[in-house]
Amino acid sequence: CPPRRAYSTPSAPPPEPPDYLNEAELRIFNKVKVELEPVRLEVQDISGGCGTMYALEIESPKFQGLTVFKQHKMVNEVLKEDIKGWHGVQLRTKAA
């Protein structure tokens, strides 16, 4: 019997930003996309367009084996300069 060959499973392509994102949402989207390599990513300004509060949903293989607290800490580290000017952020993370 020949040895079994291990094949890697094809990974999902990185998400593309939707056309409706504003400039600030797009900047956040691209920053998270580069740093966390998500398979699913949503960014929304929930402050009525003034850029002071965002909702983010991120599903990334980089979160595998981490607690939600550590996942959020990773996101906060990536966005720390942006977050300084925000009033708040709603964060939902999930390991891919």
CA distance 10 to 81: 34
Q: What is the pLDDT of residue 2?
A: 52
Task: Provide mean pLDDT across the span 41-57.
Answer: 94
Q: What tens digit of pLDDT does each residue of 6-44 get?
A: 454 556 677 999 999 999 999 999 999 999 999 999 999
Q: Which CATH class is domain 23-95?
A: alpha beta
High-pLDDT (> 70) share of the chain, %: 88
Those residues with Cβ within 8 angstroms of residue 85's Cβ, 6 or more apart along the chain or in another chain: 51, 52
Look up residue 37 and give its two tokens: 């390599």
